[in-house]
């Protein structure tokens, strides 16, 4: 596995999360003069986006993220996104958070599968960051945070070889290999089958620097071309006009990673039969996980720098529903396989060595807390993860 995969995975999934939240916040917002106290306005939307992006690109957080390290479990990474999604006045209950994470992971999985060449994963990441900069274009301080991360990406990844990018791509595909969630947008566009597996095209632009299939060259032992044979390929291939820009500003050419929610349409997720079976097989073991201590240290480092924006004064937080109606959200919560339900690990972390040891002991035991009944309806179901960081 590549030790340089984590920043790309985090930033791309985070970009997809922001696309979804922005679309849903816009769909549910009410003009400011007409909105009741418990309803969303465009001012609330901008505040949520600014708070989450500022938290996501926190300097200490990015410093830890870019250190070479292996990927950790899906549960550990999911914990980070739960924390980020609740870094403002917005509140998501269990079912909506599940749906949000499903949409994020399937969208980025599809983008990784479609990348013409492994290096283009970096262009996908740049597309996400370009869009994130548009979200906070009127907030210079946060914009500077994103630009700093942009520069880190360029410095870290532009010098990597094609072989290293191939290893990064393989690491990402291993991470996504058992995820087969059906998404309505992909199903309607016929790029995903009913079993949740993607349909890969056999036509279109070939990778930059390669030729359109259809010609076989034969060389002798001295390396001199002695014969050419043409054949008809099954697909309709074209040569790309130019390579996408790997600089801070520029035309990325590649469209993977841009916002597919810019056109409003409902997005549903469904567990396929094979995914349900895999979920049952992947049920958390009662036996202590030998990687638990390492995962805890990983989360403590990553989340240690995050400054959670808690509601102030009389604010109770606004609830965001990623489903069309409250009834759909409630039904999803009741029918989702219990083994996939995310539970909250309540731990306290500081930088003191004694506390860090205690932190390791707690995650080793994996003590989980169920959400309080009724908390979602009151907008108080903020994940109690690492309270006090």
Residues 6+ apart with CB under 8 A from 179: 105, 106, 109, 275
Rounded Cα distance between 300 and 207, Å, is: 40
Query: pLDDT per residue over 33-55, tens digit each?
Result: 665 666 678 888 899 999 999 99
Cα 168 to chain center, whole Å? 16
- pLDDT tens across 80-136, in order? 888 888 888 888 888 888 889 999 999 999 999 999 999 999 999 999 999 999 999
Q: What pLDDT is stored for residue 9 in this prediction?
A: 96
Total domains present in the chain: 1
Q: Is residue 95 in a domain?
A: yes
Residue 225 token pair: 């071309």
- In the three-class reduction of DSSP (H, G, I as helix; E, B as strand; rest coil), residue 2 is classed as coil
Calculate mean pLDDT across residues 148-162. 95
* Whole-number pLDDT of residue 94: 80
- Residue 82 resides in a domain: yes
If pLDDT is split at 50, 70 and 90, which confidence band does 70 have? confident
Instruction: Give yes or no for residue 298 having a pLDDT over 70.
Output: no
Tell me what pLDDT residue 256 has.
Answer: 93
* φ, ψ (nearest 5 deg) of residue 374: 85, -5
Contact 380/316 with Cβ under 8 angstroms? Answer: yes
389 vs 386: CA distance, rounded Å = 6
Sign of the alpha-carbon torsion through 113, 117, 118, 121: negative
Nearest to 54 by CA among 62, 66, 64: 62
pLDDT at 170 over 90: yes
Which residues sit opposite 181 in a β-bridge? Answer: 271
Q: Is the pLDDT of residue 386 over 60?
A: no
Calpha distance 140→147 (Å, rounded)? 10
Q: What is the mean pLDDT of the chain?
A: 76
pTM reported for the whole predicted model = 0.73
386: left (phi over 0), alpha (psi -120 to 50) or beta: left
Reading the block at residue 219, the tokens are 């060389």
Q: Which of 62-66, 92-96, 177-181, 193-197 has the lowest mean pLDDT?
A: 92-96
Task: Look at residue 224 and tell me whether its pLDDT is greater than 60.
Answer: yes
Pairing outcome for strands 269-271 and 318-319: unpaired
So what's the pLDDT on residue 193? 93
- Residue 258 domain-assigned (yes or no): yes
Q: Is the pLDDT of residue 320 over 60?
A: yes
In a domain, 280, yes or no: no
For the cut 80, the answer to whether the pLDDT of residue 311 exceeds it is no
For the stretch 314-318, contacts whose Cβ atoms lie closer than 8 Å and that sit 24 or more positions apart, written own/partner, are: 315/89, 316/378, 316/379, 316/380, 317/89, 317/90, 317/91, 317/379, 317/380, 317/382, 318/38, 318/40, 318/44, 318/89, 318/90, 318/91, 318/379
In this predicted structure, which of 146-155, 210-219, 271-280 has the lowest mean pLDDT? 271-280
For position 68, what pLDDT does the model report?
92
Give residue 49's domain range.
5-201+245-263+296-308+316-337
At residue 351, the pLDDT reads: 42
Domain presence at residue 120: yes
Question: Considering the domain boundaries, does residue 62 fall inside one?
Answer: yes
Contacts (Cβ under 8 Å, ≥6 apart) of 48: 21, 25, 88, 89, 90
Q: Give me the pLDDT at residue 185, please.
A: 86
Q: Report whether pLDDT(297) > 60.
A: no
The stretch 58-73 carries a mean pLDDT of 88
Burial of 376 per CB tally in 10 Å (0-12, 13-18, 19+) = buried
C-alpha 261: how far from its chain's center?
15
In a domain, 133, yes or no: yes
**Per-residue pLDDT, 315:** 53
What pLDDT is recorded for position 246?
93
Residue 84 lies in a domain: yes
What spatial distance separates the first Cα and last Cα of the chain, rounded to whole Å?
Answer: 30
pLDDT higher than 50, residue 290: no
CB-based contacts of 114, cutoff 8 Å, min separation 6: 200, 201, 256
Q: Tell me the sheet residues that pair with 192.
A: 198
């Amino acid at each position: 596995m590549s030790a340089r995969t984590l920043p790309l995975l985090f930033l791309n999934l985070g970009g997809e999360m922001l696309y979804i939240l922005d679309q849903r916040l816009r769909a549910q917002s009410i003009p400011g003069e007409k909105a009741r106290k418990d309803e969303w306005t465009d001012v609330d939307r901008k505040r949520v986006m600014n708070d989450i992006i500022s938290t996501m690109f926190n300097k200490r957080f990015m410093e830890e993220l870019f250190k070479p390290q292996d990927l950790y479990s899906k549960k550990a990474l999911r914990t980070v996104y739960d924390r980020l999604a609740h870094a403002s006045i917005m509140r998501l209950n269990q079912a909506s958070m599940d749906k949000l994470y499903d949409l994020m992971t399937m969208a980025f999985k599809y983008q990784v599968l479609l990348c013409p060449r492994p290096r283009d994963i970096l262009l996908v990441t740049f597309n996400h960051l370009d869009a994130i900069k548009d979200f906070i274009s009127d907030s210079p301080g946060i914009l500077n945070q994103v630009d700093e991360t942009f520069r880190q990406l360029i410095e870290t990844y532009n010098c990597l070889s094609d072989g290293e990018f191939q290893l990064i791509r393989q690491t990402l595909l291993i991470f996504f290999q058992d995820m087969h969630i059906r998404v309505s947008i992909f199903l309607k566009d016929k790029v995903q089958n009913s079993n949740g597996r993607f349909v890969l095209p056999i036509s279109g632009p070939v990778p930059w620097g390669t030729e359109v299939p259809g010609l076989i060259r034969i060389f002798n032992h001295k390396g001199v071309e002695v014969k050419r044979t043409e054949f008809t390929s099954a697909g309709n291939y074209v040569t790309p006009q130019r390579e996408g820009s790997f600089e801070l500003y520029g035309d990325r050419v590649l469209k993977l990673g841009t916002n597919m929610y810019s056109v409003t349409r409902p997005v549903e997720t469904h567990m396929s039969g094979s995914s349900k079976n895999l979920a049952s097989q992947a049920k958390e073991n009662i036996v202590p996980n030998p990687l638990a201590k390492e995962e805890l240290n990983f989360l403590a480092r990553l989340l240690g720098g995050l400054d959670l924006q808690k509601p102030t004064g009389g604010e109770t937080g606004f609830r965001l529903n990623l489903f069309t109606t409250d009834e759909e959200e409630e039904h999803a919560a009741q029918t989702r396989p219990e083994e996939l339900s995310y539970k909250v690990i309540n731990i306290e972390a500081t930088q003191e060595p004694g506390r860090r040891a205690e932190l390791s002991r707690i995650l080793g035991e994996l003590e989980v807390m169920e959400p309080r009944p009724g908390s979602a309806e009151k907008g108080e179901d903020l994940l109690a993860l690492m309270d006090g960081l």
